[in-house]
A and B are shown apart, each in its own frame.
Chain A
């Protein structure tokens, strides 16, 4: 079993404190969802875990089992078993999807034990078909000219190829129509096992109809303010974040409150 343990995490971006003491434990075999209003630090949490250089950890710790992630580079974290499906994946021309995924797999294996090309192609074909992606996508350039939906699918494909221990899915549902959402969810549910844990970040309860979480956390003002089961997401959908805030007696201004 692998455990991602976040304790009292404080993170600043461009000298502004966004996370103000997050505590969270994600174990393999579990699916967690983090919900919350805009501007509350959800994406900051995911980038801080992965190690984006713009996000500074000022207090607290992030551990993957006994490894202190704060002391590791981005690629070392990835090779330790972390994966982040990004909200805005980069496009890189001249590098094919297939080449990239093969390099990512081989980065986890030692020099004398690289994945042979046939095994790789067979695996890629299988996962690609599972996500209803076309054969030609393998030879297309990395995310180049991909639609929003194709990019999200490609993130899930990479996850299935790399087989991380803990995957963070940052708004994997944004910009997806219902069919694409079903495909992406199918991918995540397929990964569900005792050796795989997920932390999903989402605005909408809709995603949780397709990927049913074991735990739902609500984040507001840079902290997790409430944790519950799948049923909590439904309640939130009805009552809104402002309702929960008032119920908890929190003094937080929500970014989009005026619009409500």
Chain B
């Protein structure tokens, strides 16, 4: 591990997270036989280092789809797994990528061969077992072949409430002309300080959209990146976040246009309560030669407490002339017209506020792929707002 000292810590502008000591973790070996969230869905649930739920249609297995824990993948498909891993998130980018690469001992491997369409929503559920003092270091690796398509719901949860840390790196390769809807709900608990890094390699004519619900309760830095590596590659990176109590969540959401006519849109919405901090950094980067590409971003933050702190920092880095780009950012208060409209129907101010806040994050909520996930998001918003009056 000596190498980590030479690498820099990743940069999360305006987020002070050094004290969280995310560069020092001891991976946990906690096991369990319980499955916590899945019961009928297509997909896999990993809890600690155990596989606690698994269901995949025989038809998909016959078509060559692989879905298993990384522990199993390293045994059964080690050559394939090792070849693909580290292609999107390089091991030696910074201290935290290096640490994850060398310490992960759990996670999920999903391989979808070319021309395979997965019709049902595929659930990838990752549960941290915070039942000992040890940390959670996990990797998710997803390969989606040419012309393949998949709709993923990836969730992150904490079971138990010991004070721990977590590092989760998710790599997605979206091959030519593939289509990937990557929906994620991050719901790590209050005592977990975490580093989450999701990155995608989006190749020619492929489309990968992120819908990331960042509803963690603890200290978290999140990096979300789409590399538009091929012509006509498209990615929409959508994030909604709520921070409450005294937590901090910091984001770097980034789209890099390498390919000609590639399209990258960032959309972030955050709600800040109590004494919490929420920082959105949006980065649109267009590389020289990416002619005809488009980089747009919009980040908006609702500040619902005088004691909270919020920031929305847009950054456009453009090295090519023949492009379109734009950004909008704001830190504001609740929409008074919407509030008035709802109250004019008799709803109390409290109920109306709740609905306006939900509406503020409605773009991403509407994209959640299942009824249960929509319901989860609605309820999570309400339960975080309960603390508002305190």
Contacts and interface: CB of A to CB of B under 8 A. Distances in A.
A107 interface: yes
B366 A94 contact: yes
Nearest to A85: B344
Interface in A80-112: 83-84, 86, 89-90, 92-95, 100, 103-104, 107-108
Interface in A43-66: 50, 52-53
Contacts of A126: none
Contact of A78 (B345, B358, B359, B361): B345
A74 interface: yes
Interface in A130-161: 141-142, 144, 158
Contacts of B338: 90, 92
A104 B352 CA distance: 10
A185 B63 CA distance: 58
A73 B341 contact: no
Interface string B171-212: 000000000000000000000000000000000000000000
Contacts of A199: none
Contact of B343 (A75, A83, A95, A141): A75
A52 B351 CA distance: 18
Contact of A141 (B347, B356, B362): B362
Nearest to A52: B340
B347 A75 contact: yes
- Among A73, A75, A78, A90, residue most surrounded by chain B Cβ atoms (within 10 Å): A75
Given A53-B336, A100-B355, A107-B351, A92 B342 contact: yes
B366 to A, nearest CB: 6
B94 to A, nearest CB: 36
Q: What is the interface residue range for chain A against chain B?
A: 20 to 34
Contacts of B342: 90, 92, 100
Contact of B341 (A79, A90, A144, A162): A90
Interface in B321-365: 335-338, 340-349, 351-352, 355-356, 358-359, 361-363, 365
User: Chain B's interface: helix, strand, loop or mixed, by majority?
Assistant: helix
A60 B135 CA distance: 67
Q: What is the interface residue range for chain B against chain A?
A: 20 to 34
A103 B344 CA distance: 12
A162 B344 CA distance: 11
A94 B341 contact: no
B366 A89 contact: no
B343 A74 contact: yes
A75 B362 contact: no
- Among A78, A103, A142, residue most surrounded by chain B Cβ atoms (within 10 Å): A103
B359 A73 contact: no
Interface string B347-390: 11101100110110111011000000000001000000000000
Contacts of B349: 73, 75
Contact of B365 (A50, A89, A94): A94
B344 A108 contact: no
- Among B336, B362, B378, residue most surrounded by chain A Cβ atoms (within 10 Å): B362
Nearest to B240: A94
A95 B359 contact: yes
A162 B362 contact: no
A89 B346 CA distance: 15
Given A107-B351, A141-B366, A86 B344 contact: yes
Contacts of A162: 345-346
Given A73-B349, A95-B362, A78 B355 contact: no
B346 A92 contact: no
Contact of B345 (A93, A94, A100, A141): A100
B239 to A, nearest CB: 15
Contacts of B337: 90
B59 to A, nearest CB: 31
Contact of B347 (A50, A77, A83, A107): A107
- Among A84, A89, A107, A108, residue most surrounded by chain B Cβ atoms (within 10 Å): A107
A86 B344 CA distance: 10
A124 B366 CA distance: 23
A74 B362 CA distance: 25
- Among B342, B345, B348, B349, residue most surrounded by chain A Cβ atoms (within 10 Å): B345
Contacts of B351: 103, 107
Given A74-B340, A141-B366, A94 B359 contact: yes
Contacts of A73: 343, 349
Contacts of A78: 343-346
B347 A92 contact: no
B346 A107 contact: yes
A168 B294 CA distance: 46
Contact of A79 (B346, B355, B362, B365): B346
Contacts of A144: 362
Contacts of B343: 73-75, 78
Given A53-B336, A75-B343, A92 B359 contact: yes
A92 B362 contact: yes
B361 A94 contact: yes
17 contacts: A73-B349, A75-B343, A75-B348, A75-B349, A78-B343, A83-B344, A83-B345, A86-B344, A90-B335, A93-B363, A93-B365, A93-B366, A95-B355, A100-B345, A103-B355, A144-B362, A162-B345
Interface of A: 50, 52-53, 73-75, 77-79, 83-84, 86, 89-90, 92-95, 100, 103-104, 107-108, 141-142, 144, 158, 162
Given A93-B365, A94-B362, 10 more contacts: A52-B340, A53-B340, A83-B344, A92-B342, A92-B362, A94-B358, A94-B359, A95-B362, A104-B346, A107-B345
